[in-house]
């Protein structure tokens, strides 16, 4: 399968993340799977006229384009022309190239939340009119029409994350190569369900503190980050704590709250990322599928039953009280 990777308006962080793929590395993995990377602007040696001729050949259909990967949001400004972002040396905007190549592709993959929904580059007043490939925030219709489908009949596949997990990208590509990714494998926002059917909360190392509502009061403390520090891991999709980054890391494992970077419009939560909005002391954002009354009842019981070990460790930057040793019964 032939793959073309375009980098649009963004920081390049998803490519940096992809390079962290391990056992095997991304180059060996794609090569072993029979995925031929025609060009990647940061990783390929071709430049100038060689790239222009490749793009023109893909546009004419002389070379079959199986997978078009786009990293970064698409700029539609000024006034819908896309000329705030030209693809160097081609005399044409990235918007123009994406709209021309996407219908010719067997599959289109938005790599990262910027490409999927607009992401960080669409925050604030968005003067450049940055959008995702098929979404503008949570609304259908971005650089491509809301009802756009590829040759395969699928919409844009949104491998959202900021940056996206390297395994999410490689697993998506391998599933496409094997012909095992269809519409039923995508959630309502076009994200692959193999990671979007999980919550960041699943396998979080702070789950014991969460169960007892033993909360940290400031960053670097060991307790649950939901009550005071803005963590939305109980609402955010992703298997970040099930398959940690680089073999052992995630935001919550590093002591930072989940900010739901796989979701549209995460970049503007209307409050600081490390603060939990509350009404009458109750967090506004509650765990998915849990009624407020049930949560309040559970929280009250949990706090009342919190063991001293958990309460003290929650507001410490390291384990102060280890689990008690139990003497076997004789």
Q: Quote the CA–CA distance of 27 and 25 in Å, as a whole number.
A: 6
pLDDT in tens, 17-75: 999 988 888 999 999 999 999 999 999 999 999 999 999 999 999 999 999 999 999 99
Q: Quote the CA–CA distance of 327 and 170 in Å, as a whole number.
A: 48
pLDDT higher than 90, residue 296: no
Query: What pTM was computed for the model?
Result: 0.92
What is the structure's pLDDT at 325? Answer: 83
Q: Quote the CA–CA distance of 194 and 181 in Å, as a whole number.
A: 10
Question: Which residues, other chains included, contact 107 with Cβ-Cβ below 8 Å and sequence gap of 6+?
Answer: 66, 67, 68, 150, 152, 154, 157, 176
Contact indicator for 119, 159 with CB cutoff of 8 Å: no
Q: Which pair of tokens denotes residue 12?
A: 């390049």
> Helix, strand, or coil here: 192?
strand
Look up the CATH number of domain 2-194. 3.40.50.700
What is the structure's pLDDT at 312? Answer: 95
What is the structure's pLDDT at 322? Answer: 92
Based on its alpha-carbon atoms, the radius of gyration of the chain, rounded to whole angstroms, reads 22
What is the structure's pLDDT at 285? Answer: 75
pLDDT in tens, 118-153: 999 999 999 999 999 999 999 999 999 999 999 999
Contact indicator for 301, 309 with CB cutoff of 8 Å: no
Q: Which pair of tokens denotes residue 125?
A: 């007043």
> Helix, strand, or coil here: 198?
coil
Contact indicator for 61, 41 with CB cutoff of 8 Å: no
What is the structure's pLDDT at 303? Answer: 85
**Is 302 buried (19+), middle (13-18) or exposed (0-12) by CB count in 10 A?**
middle
Question: Which residues, other chains included, contact 320 with Cβ-Cβ below 8 Å and sequence gap of 6+?
Answer: 312, 313
Give the model's confidence band at 209: pLDDT under 50 very low, under 70 low, under 90 confident, else very high: very high
Q: Quote the CA–CA distance of 207 and 140 in Å, as a whole number.
A: 35
Q: Which pair of tokens denotes residue 112?
A: 């990262």
Q: Using alpha carbons only, what angle is made at residue 129 by residues 10 and 55, rounded to the nearest 5 degrees?
A: 60
Residue whose tokens read 């000024």: 78
Please state the domain extents for the chain. Answer: 2-194, 198-321
How many C-beta atoms lie closer than 10 Å to residue 177's C-beta? 18
Q: Which CATH superfamily is 198-321 part of?
A: Cytochrome-c3 hydrogenase, C-terminal domain (4.10.480.10)
**Is the peptide bond preceding residue 163 cis, with omega within 30 degrees of 0?**
yes
Q: Which pair of tokens denotes residue 282?
A: 């109750």
Contact indicator for 226, 234 with CB cutoff of 8 Å: yes
Q: Quote the CA–CA distance of 4 and 154 in Å, as a whole number.
A: 18
**How far apart, in Å, are the Cα atoms of 191 and each of 54, 71, 330?**
29, 15, 55
DSSP state of 185: G
Question: Which residues, other chains included, contact 93 with Cβ-Cβ below 8 Å and sequence gap of 6+?
Answer: 75, 81, 82, 83, 84, 85, 86, 87
DSSP 82-118: -TTSEETTTTEEHHHHHHHHGGG-SEEEEESHHHHH-
Contact indicator for 306, 212 with CB cutoff of 8 Å: yes
């Amino acid at each position: 399968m032939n793959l073309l990777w375009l980098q649009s308006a963004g920081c390049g962080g998803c490519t940096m993340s992809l390079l962290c793929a391990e056992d095997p590395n991304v180059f060996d993995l794609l090569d072993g799977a029979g995925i031929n990377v025609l060009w990647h602007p940061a990783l390929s040696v071709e430049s100038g006229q060689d790239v222009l001729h490749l793009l023109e050949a893909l546009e004419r259909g002389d070379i079959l384009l199986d997978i078009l990967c786009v990293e970064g949001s698409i700029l539609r400004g000024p006034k819908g022309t896309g000329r705030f972002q030209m693809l160097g040396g081609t005399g044409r905007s990235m918007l123009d190239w994406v709209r021309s190549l996407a219908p010719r592709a067997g599959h289109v993959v938005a790599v990262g939340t910027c490409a999927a929904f607009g992401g960080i580059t669409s925050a604030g007043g968005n003067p450049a009119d940055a959008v995702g490939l098929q979404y503008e925030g949570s609304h259908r219709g971005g650089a491509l029409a809301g009802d756009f489908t590829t040759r395969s009949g699928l919409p844009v596949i949104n491998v959202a994350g900021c940056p996206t997990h390297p395994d999410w990208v490689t697993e998506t590509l391998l599933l496409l190569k094997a012909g095992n990714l269809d519409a039923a494998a995508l959630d309502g926002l076009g994200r692959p369900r193999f990671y979007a059917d999980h919550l960041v909360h699943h396998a979080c190392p702070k789950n014991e503190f969460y169960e007892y509502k033993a909360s940290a009061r400031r960053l670097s403390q060991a307790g649950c980050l939901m009550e005071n520090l803005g963590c939305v891991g109980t609402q955010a999709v992703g298997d970040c704590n099930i398959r940690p980054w680089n073999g052992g890391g995630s935001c919550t494992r590093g002591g930072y709250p989940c900010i739901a970077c796989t979701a549209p419009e995460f970049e503007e939560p209307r409050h600081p990322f490390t603060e939990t909005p509350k009404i009458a002391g109750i967090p506004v954002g509650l765990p998915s599928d849990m009624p407020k009354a049930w949560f309040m009842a559970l929280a009250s019981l949990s706090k009342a039953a919190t063991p001293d070990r958990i309460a003290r460790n929650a507001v410490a930057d390291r384990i102060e009280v280890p689990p008690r040793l139990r003497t076997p019964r004789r």
